[in-house]
Amino acid sequence: MAVRLDGQVALVTGAGRGLGRAYALDLAKHGAKVIVNDFGGSVSGEGNDETPAQQVVNEIKAAGGEAVANAGDVGNYEDCFNMVKLAMDTWGRLDALVANAGILRDLALHNMSENDWDLVIRVHLKQCYNLLHHAWPVFRQQAYGRVVMATSTSGLIGNFGQANYGAAKAAMYGLMNVAKIEGEKYNINVNLISPGAATRMTDNLMGAQGQDAAERQVVMGPEHVAPAVTYLCSPQCVESGVCIDAAGGHYGRIAIVRNAGVNYDPHEHKDADWFESNWAKITDLTGATAPWSFRETREAHYAAKQ
Ligand SMILES: NC(=O)c1ccc[n+]([C@@H]2O[C@H](COP(=O)([O-])OP(=O)(O)OC[C@H]3O[C@@H](n4cnc5c(N)ncnc54)[C@H](O)[C@@H]3O)[C@@H](O)[C@H]2O)c1
């Protein structure tokens, strides 16, 4: 089935540059009208400039699509309300939400100030609350909605110097797990994208790996991630609660899994020595499954729906 979003409206945050720009362009290419949000700040979140968002709107229009720019700050509750309102006032609906805007304030934990912590949590994690909270009544009323939040292996797996960023990104997994359950009966799907792409955010990191800049743009360009986001935003995607790992030349899935563990009779108390001697079996991931909720496995959940 062809992936199409004709007549649908998508809001993409941080869409003036990098990955967000690629998502906005690809969504428009697949028929969506797009609210292009970007406050146009630096990688560390300073300053603002409406030009990047407007440039992407111009690109979409030049290709025959429809788009409107918004320069709101995703960490601001009212600004996020106004992004949803802009979609409703302009086109009377909002179908897909891509919470993508992001900044970095990388520092080792002992050097990380309270301000660096708060700001990163605000832009990444509070953004998601702000947007989901304001979009939810629209999605419920339409009995339709698609949400994609931009997470990162920095939190899902780990990376030095990114305690604030990693914590915010991994928290999106928890938010997805709850929102997918709250949204299910309204056909609201909530998924994650864990991207890898050559953007200004990864310039230092990928540059340091010695790859030629032009070649990096070809093999790690944000346009290799966009097809996954377009699919997750489309009516064709019926899955909810999945984290897609995407980078030039690779698509996969990252999941929290639960193993079989070890069962014992709780009438017989086990001490720390017993725990130590059973560590290998307790932590063995052979046959681990990805639960859909704490009550059931993903397999049981989807089997029950068929
Ligand atoms: N590039 C990667 O490899 C990579 C890896 C993992 C996760 N991510 C995530 O993907 C997303 C996009 O990253 P990118 O690499 O395209 O970075 P980027 O710096 O190129 O783009 C981010 C955009 O977000 C905007 N933005 C920042 N704070 C904002 C705010 N408060 N309100 C509105 N707009 C704001 C910026 O102006 C910028 O245009 C981020 O959430 C990032 O954490 C990127």
Q: Which amino acid appears at position 122 of this protein?
A: R
- Give the distance (Å) from ligand 1 centre to CA of residue 136: 23
- For ligand 1, atom 7, name the residue with the nearest CA: 152
- The correct CATH number of 9-254 out of 3.40.50.150, 3.90.1150.10, 3.40.50.720, 3.40.50.1970 is 3.40.50.720
pLDDT given at position 97: 98
Task: Assess whether the C-beta atom of 291 lies below 6 angstroms from ligand 1.
Answer: no
Task: Assess whether the C-beta atom of 98 lies below 6 angstroms from ligand 1.
Answer: no
- Give the distance (Å) from ligand 1 centre to CA of residue 280: 40
pLDDT given at position 298: 83
pLDDT given at position 75: 98
Question: Rounded CA gap, 56 and 69, in Å?
Answer: 8
pLDDT given at position 306: 77
Please tell me the pTM assigned to this model.
0.97
Low-confidence residues of the chain: pLDDT under 50: none
pLDDT given at position 208: 66
pLDDT given at position 206: 77
Annotate 266-276 with b (16+ C-beta within 10 A) or e (fewer).
eeeeeeeeeee
Two tokens, residue 173: 């997994």
What's the pLDDT tens digit per position in 235-288? 999 999 999 999 999 999 999 999 999 999 999 999 999 999 999 999 999 999
Smallest CA-to-CA distance from 128 within 88, 90, 177 is with: 177
> Among this protein's residues, is 165 annotated catalytic?
yes
Smallest CA-to-CA distance from 192 within 215, 214, 175, 210 is with: 175
Domain extents for the chain?
9-254
Task: Assess whether the C-beta atom of 155 lies below 6 angstroms from ligand 1.
Answer: no
pLDDT given at position 213: 85
